[in-house]
Structures are given as structure tokens and as C-alpha cells.
Structure 1
Amino acid sequence: MAGANSVPRAVRRAAIASLVGSALEWYDFFLYGTAAALVFNTLFFPTFDPLVGTIAAFGTNAAGFLARPLGGVVFGHFGDRVGRKSVLVVTLMVMGVATFLIGVMPTYGTVGLWAPVLLLALRVVQGIAAGGEWGGGVLIVSEHAPADRRGFYSAWSQTGVGLGFVLSASMYWLIQAMTTKESFLAWGWRIPFMAGILLTVVGLLIRLRVMETPAYQEASAAAPKKAKLPALEALRTQPKAVLTTFGARIAENGASYLFLTFSLSYAAKIGMNGNTVLVAVVVGMAFESFAMPLWGALSDRVGRRPVYLGGAIGMILWAYPFFLMFDSRNTVAVFVAVFVAVVICHGAMIGTQPAFITELFTDSRVRYSGVALGHELGSVVAGGFSPIIATALLAWAGASWPIVLFLIGMGLITVVAVALAPETKPKSLHEGRTPQMAEASAGAGRAA
């Protein structure tokens, strides 16, 4: 009875720790994307045309995404060999320090070309930390949760991602509201970055209290000899899971950065008030953050694939109305456009994603590496380059129709990937034992 009562408590503690830690870590990561759209183009790339400066700023933003697979491989390696908890503590520390340094670094007007170089270097460090964060944050919950409620519990890790965006955008909105435009560009933009170090300390205190996951402990006990190179082992033994994860990410991640980051630049291009769009995005993400566990719970009932496919198809259908409603420059229409795109279309995918991707990987010994590798490769292709591609398409066509086609293309890739994937609900994360693990368990039983 004591063991039975402790399970829900452990699951809740893991969910809270993942939510809070993810919120703080992704607060740091998203700060950069918002700053790239609002201030970095003038502070770090002032010699360019404004639109070209925006592309350059988004280029440094993309560098963080290019570094994410490296972070996924490195931290996934240690997450599979040392444990999920220890790695999550390190990723949060690395992200917090890099974010603080961005807040205190000099701009182009002070040190010239060294400013964008230093900015790029710190963004790469952020990317490495983010690449190791997502997989561990998801697994620390998914590997604690009961199979029949994994969709609900693991989605709270995604709620942390959403709240991190809300927190970062809200900080920018608050600082902008309290300062003049000149003061904001001079020093106001730095405050959210420097505040990140205090939030990091809070996240560390919470994460240090979480227990290691039962699935990892069982795998370690059954097969004490760890995989030498977990990422290569995952590619060798579960290539379909890696490819499915990659494909599932294209629409979800690519669309999110168009809806949440590029939309700010698009609004400025068509003459809309940037604060209106920023508030719409923050409100949409706030609603989505708490809709994610509901989508996860729905996937516990009807399956992962139907919910995920529904979100991807919805995104395809909403691509044209989204920009049409922006082009109307009507505040209510913009709020509706963002709400449907973010809460319904994107929410269905990202809320289902943690359980779906976790369950694709059946071997606990390499699950962290496999999840991180597929997830972060998708981030590079979709999230890292989608704002740059969209901005370039806008500069080329002067209209939104090429961006609509771009969104539809990403949606179709995800629809195919998920449609070809197996249904994974419900699946015990203790089932996927390798022959070596099974033999070790049998030997232990005979010895007993």
C-alpha cells in the first residue's frame, strides 16, 4: 500500500519539476527569439536595411537551432549513461548562465563586429542546452507516469515550454510599457535576460528534489553495461522511430515559430501595432499551455495518432485564413487567428507529442538519445529556418501567399510521417527490453 500511494506522488512531483524547469529554461531560449524580432536587428546589425537586419538577427537565432542536435547527442549520451535527473540539472545551469551573459554583453555601437560574434556564440551555447533539455524534461515525467495516463502527465512538460514563452513575451511587453522606445533599446531589453539567472536558481532547487525515473533504474539494474554510444545505437536499432520523430516535428515546430515569432515581423511589415500582436500571441500561448494536458488526456482515450493528425491537418487548413485575418488588420480577427492556430492546431500536436515520441522508443538504455536526436534534428530543419525562410519569402513576394504554401508543405510532411507511424497508446515503457536485459533479469531470478 505504501508503494502504491507513493507512485502518484512521485508522478506529480516529476510533472511539477518538469513544468517549472522547462518553463524557466525555455523562458531563456524564447527571450532570444523575441529579441531577434524586436531589437537585435538594430542593436547588433545596424548597417543593414531593416528587413535584411531582421533576417540576420533570425540567422543568429537559427544558430541556436543548429546547435540543438549537438546538445541532444551530448546530453542524451550522458542521460542514458548517468541518468535523466543529473543531466537536467546541468542543462538548466548552462542555459541560465548563457542567457545572463547575453543581457550584459556590448552592442555593435560599442565593440563593432565583435557584438554579433559574441551574440552568435552565446546563442550556440543556448542551443546546446536546449537540445539536451527537451528529451530529459519529457522523459522525467513519461518514465514516471502510468501507461494509461501518460499522455496527460507528460503533456505538463510541454506546458512548461508554453509558459516559458508566455513569461518571456510578457517580460518584454512589461518592459516596453514601462520605458520609452529609446530607453528600451538602450537598456530595457537587457532586464529579462539578466533576470533569467534568478529564475535558474529557483528551477535548480526544484529539480534537485526529483527522483530518477523507474524505467531508467530498471534498465540499469537489468543491464548494468550501458551502450557505449547511445545515439548510434538508437539509429542502428530504431531508425524508424528517429525518422518518425523528425517528421512529426516539422509542422509542429516550424508552424510554432511562424505563428509566435515571425508574426511579429509580419505585423510590422503590414503596418500593424506590434504590441497588439504580441498580446495576441501571449494570450494564445497562455491558453495553449493549459490546453496541452487536455490534448494529452484525449490521446490517452482515442490514441496518439488521431489527435496528432488532427492538429497537423488543422494547421494545413488554417494556413491561408491565418494570414488573411492578419491582413485585415482587425484586432479581433488577429486574436482569433492566433487562438485557432496556437491553441487548437499546434496544441493538438505539441500536447500529444511527449507521450507519442517517448513510446516510439522501446529501449530505455538509448531512449534519451533517440528522443533527443529525432526531436532536435526536426528543430533545425523546421524551427531554426522557418522564420528566415518566411522573411525571405515575404521580401521576395511582398505578400503572404508563399508563406501559406510553406506552412502547407510542412504540414503535409508531418501528416505522412504520423500516418505511417504505429499507434503507441497505451504502452509500458518497461516492455522494450533488449535480449541482454532479458538475460540479465533471468539470471538475477535464477540466482534468487
Structure 2
Amino acid sequence: MPDNGVTSADERRMPRRAAISGWFGSALEYYDFAVYGSAAALVFPQIFFPSESPAVALIASLATYGVGYVARPIGAFVLGNFGDKYGRKRVLVFAMMLMGISTLLVGLLPTYAQVGVLAPILLVVLRLIQGFAVAGELGGASAMIVEHAPEGRRGFFTSFSLQGTQAGSILASASFIPLSTFLSPEAFQAWGWRIPFLLSVVVIVAGLIIRTRVEETPAFLREEKQDRVPRVPVAQLFRENGGTVFRAVCMGLANVIGTTVVVFGTAYATQPAYGVGMSPSVYLWIPVLANIVAIILIPLFGMLSDRIGRRPLMIFGPLAAGLLSFAYLFVVSTGNVGLTILLAILIFGVLYQMWNATFASYFQELFPTRTRVTGFAVSQNIALFLTGFLPSIFTAIAPPGSSSVPLIIGTATLVLSLVSAAAAWRSRETAKLGLDALDQKHPSGTPAADGVAETVPGATPDARTSRA
């Protein structure tokens, strides 16, 4: 019987349990995080940020949405450190409970009309807590899956946590559709908007049920048993793998694809100032349709990454999507709805998902067990923080009235995609290595340098030192 007391039958079931836990956990947490975005656009301007100018109220409301991304790097440092020091399971349960409670409290908040300025202050505080909590979700969930997954199938199993994030986004968008359709505007604004937030009680219950059934990973237990858990994982991360963090952040700039297609694309197509005049309802459906395609393809791309390696998908997906962004923005400028939807699905639902389905397993494999959760969380959330400012930057460099929007934004998207692809090209392949090989040390006993992979003298071909 293994040291951790898990039976062999349980061991065989544990990869599947970890993947299911990652899927449901990510879906529920990203539902909570994304449902705020819908409410910020639909109802928060009226009930939390009343103003004589509707535009000012909308800007203030959407600014609180962005606050969640400001908190994510902080959450990454704290919760990543927690996950590497005390275990993946503990950080996942804590993050889910924190997210569920904060989202539930948003649904119980008094409005500006009831308590004045205290209402938006409380809303911002809860949004900060949401951003803090979600920063630890994907890092902990994908580490749990990677360290439970059988050799040669880590990409496939880990892809389910990313499939869960897409499902959560769909649920968040869909949760407001029946409420806004069947309730009167007065009823929706008075109490209907609260229902999606109150449903977060499901997160609290599901978190306790699902995540307590998954055992701590053998890799972490081995580190703990051998007294190799770092006292300050984040300090050890930057001391040993600072270069890997930098490359992973650069790879994370591939998130520009979503910004260009979904966020800036929506403003460009629908805002009167740009003059395209496309119906907003088109762009309500684009992320839903693209995410449905993504849910189907993500496990297939994860499986493909196990067969051909992570790097080909990490390089080709962003490059192809970046190149097609010119065509997409040009089609938007002409008002061609059919081609806009087709290219949006191709770029965001297919090409971007090559990267999205692969990066979780790849980032986890680039970092050693002792700093794996911290390395992933810090890299992912710094990249998201940087790309979170892109909509404002894009609007500044291609303002309404500009005649070269497709060229300017397409070039910016391609450049950032090139940076992402170049960082992946400069990183080593990890798909065929076991976790022990990924943690392999130099013969001197010092951690592998943050450079080109080397072969340990006398080791088997797979027992190479980690580039990370």
C-alpha cells in the first residue's frame, strides 16, 4: 500500500477524480467571476453608481470589473505560496470557499439608494476578494491534475480544468438571459439580478463535496515527507526559475487574442462612435458560440499535445490567430455579420484554444514540484493583469474616427502573439518527461539552472534537468 494510505483502486480512480474536481471547480469559480461582468454591464450602473451621466455610471461600473484583475497578481503570490507550502488540496478548498462566499455577498448587498456611497465601496471590496480567490483556482487545480495524471496523458487530463473555465463563462452569460427575458425591467433591476449571485451557495456546497474527495498529490506528499517543502516558495521560485517566470508571462500574452476578438471587437463593431453599426446581439452570441466550440476541442487539443508535444500548439495557435486578426477586424469594419461570426469562432474558438488547452499542463511542467503552484499562478495572473489593460490601450491607439483600426490593432495583436510564440520556442519540450525527470537535479545536488535542458551524466534519456 502506498505511503499515503490510498488503495491501488483509489489510485487508479484518482486521476479521473482530480480531472472532474478541476472541471467543476473551475466552472463554478469562473462562473462566479464572470457573472459579475454581465451584471456590471446590465444593472450595476443604475443601482450602485447613479449619475446624471449614464456614460459615467457605466465607466464606473466597468471599472469595478477591472478591479478583479488588479487583485489577481496579489492572490497569485499569496495563494500560490500557500499551495506549495501547505498542499494543493487545501488551497483549492480555501479558494473556492472564498470565491463562493464573496459572490453570495454581492447578491445580498444593499443598493446606493439604500445606504449611499457605502454600497459601491462594499461592491469594490467584494470584487477584490473575487479576484484574489480566482488567482489560486487554476494554478491549484491544474497542479492537482498534473500530479495525479498517468504519464503520457497529463495534457489530456489537465485540459479539463480549462474546459471548465469555458463552461463557467457560458453559464455566466446564460444565467441572465431568462431573467432579463421573462422579468419586467423593474423586477429585474429590483431583485432579479441577485439570483445568479445567490446561486453561488452551490459553489460552497459543491466545493466541500467535490474537493474533499480528492487526495493530496503523491508528488507534494513526497516533497513533504522528505522535508523539501520550501519555507518561502515564492522566494525560491524567483531565485531558481526567474527566467521561466518571464518566459511564461510572455507566453501568457497570447490572451491578446480574446481581447481583440471579444472585448475590443465588441466595442469596434457596436459603439456608435466607430460607425460600424453592427447589432450588439451579434456580440452577445459570439463568445457563447465560440466557447461551445472550445468546450468540444479543448480535450482533443490536450490529447494532441500529449502526442506531438506542447510547444507546437503553443507556437502555432497564437501565430495563426494573430495573423487572422487582420482579416477579422477588416470584416468587422465592413459590417459583414456572417464572416465576422465565422472568423471569431475560428480565431477564438479554434486557434486560440490550441494555446488555451495546452498552457496549463505546459506551465505546470515548466516548474518543479516545490514551486509549481506558485510558478503557474504568478505567471498566469501577471500575464492576465497586463492583457487586462489592452482594451483601453487599443482604444487609445485606434480611437473612433481612425481609418486604420484593422491595421493598427491587427499589428498590435500579431506582435504580442509573436512574443508569445517566441517565448514558447525558447522553452523546452516537457510532454514526454515524467515528473521525476522534470524535478531532476544536477549531480552536484543544486537545482537545475534556469537555462537550456541538459542531460545528467549516466542518466536515462528521459532523466534530463529541467529548463525550469
Identify whether the pair has TM-score above 0.5, normalized to the shorter chain: yes
* Higher deviation after alignment, 411-420 or 305-314: 411-420
Deviations 1:12-40 (A, max 9, x none): 11100110011001100111223334443
Q: Does 1:372 align with 2:374?
A: no
| Aligned match of 1:443 | none
Among 115, 121, 130, the alignment partner of 1:117 is: 121
Among 319, 325, 331, the alignment partner of 1:319 is: 325
State the superposition RMSD in angstroms: 2.7
TM-score (norm 2): 0.85
Contact 1:25 1:200 in 2 (8 A): no
Q: How does 1:170-189 map to 2 (within 5 A)?
A: 170-189=174-193
- Distance in 2 between the 1:397 and 1:175 partners? 37
Q: Classify 1:345/1:409 alpha carbon distance in 2 versus 1 (closer, same or farther; 3 Å).
A: same
Task: For 1:61, give the aligned amino acid.
Answer: Y
- Distance in 1 between the 2:436 and 2:322 partners? 36
- Distance in 2 between the 1:85 and 1:19 partners? 15
Q: How does 1:345-360 map to 2 (within 5 A)?
A: 345-360=351-366
TM-score (norm 1): 0.89
- Structure 1, unmatched stretches of 5+, are 440-448
Task: For 2:244, give the aligned amino acid.
Answer: A
Q: Does 1:64 align with 2:64?
A: no
Among 100, 104, 109, the alignment partner of 2:108 is: 104
- Distance in 2 between the 1:337 and 1:393 partners? 23
| Aligned match of 1:249 | 252
Q: Does 1:310 align with 2:313?
A: no
Contact 2:363 2:376 in 1 (8 A): yes
Percent identity for Structure 1 against Structure 2? 34
Give secondary structure in 2 for the equivalent of 1:366: helix
Task: For 2:420, give the aligned amino acid.
Answer: T
Q: Does 1:226 align with 2:229?
A: yes
- Distance in 2 between the 1:409 and 1:180 partners? 46
Q: Classify 1:121/1:388 alpha carbon distance in 2 versus 1 (closer, same or farther; 3 Å).
A: farther
Task: For 1:169, give the aligned amino acid.
Answer: S
| Aligned match of 1:295 | 301
Deviations 1:209-260 (A, max 9, x none): 01111211122222x25211101100110112211211111122x3324434
Give secondary structure in 1 for the equivalent of 2:205: helix
Among 422, 425, 433, the alignment partner of 1:419 is: 425
Q: 1:313 Cα deviation (Å)?
A: 0.6
* Higher deviation after alignment, 188-197 or 344-353: 188-197
Contact 1:29 1:126 in 2 (8 A): yes
Task: For 1:353, give the aligned amino acid.
Answer: F
Q: Classify 1:182/1:23 alpha carbon distance in 2 versus 1 (closer, same or farther; 3 Å).
A: same
Q: Classify 1:285/1:82 alpha carbon distance in 2 versus 1 (closer, same or farther; 3 Å).
A: same
- Structure 2, unmatched stretches of 5+, are 447-468
Give secondary structure in 2 for the equivalent of 1:93: helix
Contact 2:220 2:369 in 1 (8 A): yes
Q: 1:326 Cα deviation (Å)?
A: 3.2
- Distance in 1 between the 2:299 and 2:137 partners? 19
Deviations 1:150-187 (A, max 9, x none): 11111111011111101101112222222244443333
Task: For 2:241, give the aligned amino acid.
Answer: Q
Q: Does 1:237 align with 2:240?
A: yes
Among 146, 150, 157, the alignment partner of 2:150 is: 146
